[in-house]
Structure 1
Amino acid sequence: MELIVMVLAPLPLGYFIRQRIVAYLVYVGLHSFVFTFQTMTLTKAWVGGDTSGFAKDPDSVDWPYALVNLVIYGVGLGLVALGHRLAERRRRRASAPVDLAV
């Protein structure tokens, strides 16, 4: 779920929301909701006996899960920045005067 949101949401957020900080905050809020829901779903499955999301040992630290989620989060923030940069470039080019005499 988190990967789907990372692919679909951050680039349009950065592109269509003029203030970069607002686009970041919207993405952080959306990502936080999806991350919490995804973790809750995996925890419920783990309590039911499914060990595909987490290790069997409850005392072990799941570094792969943490690292993958951190990478997804970072790439999403980068896509927000890329969307904002693309929109800024388009706005600068569209507002430049056109010389029709050339």
Structure 2
Amino acid sequence: MAHEALFAPGTSWSYGNTNYLLAGLLIEKVTGRPLAEQITHRIIQRIGLRHTSFPGAGDERIREAHSQGYFAAKPGAPLEKITEMDLSWGWVAGQVGPRR
């Protein structure tokens, strides 16, 4: 409540990870188990995703053949290779990725 709203309720939309984060916390509270374990067991393994994982913090390596990803900080800036990166910053909102 310390920040002013970006727009009046119902007049626009802005992306945020809040609902994903709350869902992750709720899953952990209800199951009493870590989110990574629940996603791996209940989704990744159950539907047979053989090349997908919920990597742990600091796990940046992709073990199998994969494409390369690049990012430019601003238009015209040199491309930076970002293929292998720690996805844990996104937790439930973006930590699932190629098998690491």
Q: Normalising by structure 2, report the TM-score.
A: 0.27
More helix by share: 1
More strand by share: 2
Larger radius of gyration: 1
